[in-house]
Structure 1
């Protein structure tokens, strides 16, 4: 009787595909993010505050190649905003979800880890896009920073933005396994973010940094994201101000893509639904 309806054998509902679950998770993640008003304010305000601070200090002080510092610095602000929204926010937030039982409940609902990760990617892409629009508007109106000049530069901006965001997201999910608890997460994650920002030429020009710092930064995606965004925002003549005298877009794309693949592999291999001590 329990297996029939109207005399016909009952059918087990088909399990939703991973792609469908990922889309549903992305929508839910965005709604949950919007409800956290303090987090929303911080994520959207941080890059704008940094832009205002450095723009006010250095103004239009030109770099050796003639590029105003406010124009140069915008790419770093966008890159660090993406890193905050993706890597730092996720590494800390997922540690909290693991501790408060959210992940344990999702596991009980048989949500695949891949769908969970892709849902985070979708959420970060959406929120980073809003953050980007706000930062570009402030830079353009407040400091006269020109936007990409043509379709080619906009396309360059788009793929650097997408690769950098995906890399930061999957690495944030993977790194969330490092903190032992939600309480220690910020203390573990924040120093990594701060060091990478200074090493990657976010706050200063790369040519002003020691060679060993630049060598370390070249291993990670933040440096290449900032450099790729400069390639989209600045004139081609500004490439002479880079350490090797060019934008190195091919190398940057390869490094960021490699981190996307490696980060996803680390997510699926090291992702844990519960704390290590449970």
Structure 2
């Protein structure tokens, strides 16, 4: 109970620190919101997506890009945010000082995970409000769709956070953290159906993207927010929710093992 109590206090501390960093807020919290606005406005001249041959039907550009922006937000909140943040804390001695206190390592990670969940929930809420009231996107009304959203989100955010903690061991210094982590995250967004329609990518690139979790998170979100007719546009012809769950669970296990083997309060070569 003491460990969890300290963890809850760390959630509050980590969240307050997060919102005091203007660059972090823009590049992780507001970035998907800004990108949704840019894509919705820039491509609205192309008309609706998925229209019939006679020009009827389809959905707006904002509705089409919303699932990808939610998936990108999950990746940014978990992987990019934690990987960069923890790498900086290792480099500037914050973790070394924490390691010399009675703070349990579990409480530290509860604080980090809690901060990721709080900020990502607020981010998704902002995305949905913007989509609904600025771009008039019709959100799902079926309770089953929202239940699917909840378990996809929960599995996606926990997996992303664990992988972010594991990746924090890769940068050798805090100064190099953004240079190492951001290109990885950016490339994954372009090949995973966030900014480009996944079925338009070459088959070999689709196969590469299918190895990583973002492709599956984006596909799961499309199953929630896009009409059922869009399922046939997936390369497999279905949403593959079972495969999505298996891939995310596999990456979650890999991330936990990597964290256990690599995490140190200070760098091993320091």
TM-score by length of 1: 0.89
Supply the distance in 1 between the matched residues of 2:182 and 2:61 (Cα, whole angstroms): 26
Q: What are the Cα deviations for residues 142-179 of structure 1, in whole angstroms up to 9, with x where unaligned?
A: 22222122110011111111111111111011100000
Match of 2:48 in 1: 61
Supply the distance in 2 between the matched residues of 1:225 and 1:210 (Cα, whole angstroms): 20
Match of 1:21 in 2: 6
**5+ long unaligned stretches in structure 1:** 1-15
Match of 1:164 in 2: 156
Across the aligned residues of Structure 1 and Structure 2, the Cα RMSD in angstroms comes to 1.7
- The partner residue of 1:124 within 95, 116, 124 is 116
Contact 1:114 1:268 in 2 (8 A): no
User: Secondary structure, in 3 states, of the residue corresponding to 1:181?
Assistant: coil
Which protein shows a greater Rg? 1
User: Secondary structure, in 3 states, of the residue corresponding to 1:182?
Assistant: coil
- The partner residue of 1:91 within 50, 63, 83 is 83
Tell which deviates more after alignment, 36-45 or 160-169. 36-45
Is 1:221 aligned to residue 208 of structure 2? no
Task: Report how far residue 64 of structure 1 moved.
Answer: 6.5
User: Secondary structure, in 3 states, of the residue corresponding to 1:25?
Assistant: helix
Q: What are the Cα deviations for residues 64-106 of structure 1, in whole angstroms up to 9, with x where unaligned?
A: 6744433221111111112112111111111110111110111
Contact 1:164 1:225 in 2 (8 A): yes
TM-score by length of 2: 0.91
Contact 2:9 2:111 in 1 (8 A): yes
Supply the distance in 2 between the matched residues of 1:145 and 1:273 (Cα, whole angstroms): 45
Moved beyond 6 Å, runs of 4+? none
Contact 1:67 1:238 in 2 (8 A): no
Is 1:109 aligned to residue 101 of structure 2? yes
Contact 1:50 1:77 in 2 (8 A): yes
